[in-house]
Amino acid sequence: ETGVTQSPTHLIKTRGQQVTLRCSSQSGHNTVSWYQQALGQGPQFIFQYYREEENGRGNFPPRFSGLQFPNYSSELNVNALELDDSALYLCASSLGVTGGVKNQPQHFGDGTRLSIL
Amino acid sequence: QKEVEQNSGPLSVPEGAIASLNCTYSDRGSQSFFWYRQYSGKSPELIMSIYSNGDKEDGRFTAQLNKASQYVSLLIRDSQPSDSATYLCAGNSGSRLTFGEGTQLTVNP
Q: Are strands A87-94 and A107-108 parallel, antiparallel or unpaired?
A: antiparallel
Tell me what the mean pLDDT of segment B90-102 comes to: 89
Tell me what the mean pLDDT of segment A64-93 comes to: 96
The 10 Å CB-count burial string (b at 16+, else e) for B57-82 is eeeebbbbbeeeebebbbbbeebeee
CB A37 within 8 A of CB B86: no
Task: Check residues A99 and B26 and name the one with the higher pLDDT.
Answer: B26
- In chain B, which residues have their Cβ closer than 8 Å to the Cβ of A105? 34, 46, 49
Backbone φ/ψ region at A28: left (φ over 0), alpha (ψ -120 to 50), beta: left
Report the gap between the CA of A33 and the closest CA in chain B (Å): 8
| Long-range contacts of the stretch B56-59 (C-beta < 8 A, 24+) | none
Model confidence over B44-72: pLDDT tens digits?
999 999 999 999 999 999 999 999 999 99
Which among B46, B94, B100 is the nearest to A105, CB-wise?
B46
- In chain A, which residues have their Cβ closer than 8 Å to the Cβ of B97? 33, 35, 43, 45, 92, 106
Q: How far apart, in whole angstroms, are the C-alpha atoms of residue B69 and residue A58?
A: 26
Q: From chain B, which residues contact A within 8 Å (Cβ)?
A: 4, 31-32, 34, 36, 42-46, 49, 51, 88, 90, 92, 94-102
Q: How far apart, in whole angstroms, are the C-alpha atoms of residue B73 and residue A84?
A: 32
Confidence check: pLDDT of B7 > 70: yes
Model confidence over A14-56: pLDDT tens digits?
999 999 999 999 988 889 999 999 999 999 999 999 889 998 9
Cα torsion through B81, B25, B95, B20, rounded to 10: 20
Nearest CA in chain B to A97: B95
Confidence check: pLDDT of A86 > 50: yes
Single-letter code of the amino acid located at A36: Q
Share of chain A above pLDDT 70, in %: 92
Tell me what the mean pLDDT of segment B6-26 comes to: 93
Neighbours of A67 (CB within 10 A): 15
Quote the pLDDT of residue A27.
87
CB A58 within 8 A of CB A47: yes
Report the gap between the CA of A98 and the closest CA in chain B (Å): 8
Model confidence over A90-106: pLDDT tens digits?
999 988 765 544 568 89
Q: How far apart, in whole angstroms, are the C-alpha atoms of residue B83 and residue B51?
A: 24
Q: Which of A11-25, A100-114, B22-36 has the lowest mean pLDDT?
A: A100-114
Nearest CA in chain B to A41: B101
Quote the pLDDT of residue A100.
47
Question: Which residues, other chains included, contact B85 with Cβ-Cβ below 8 Å and sequence gap of 6+?
Answer: B37, B38, B39, B40, B104, B105
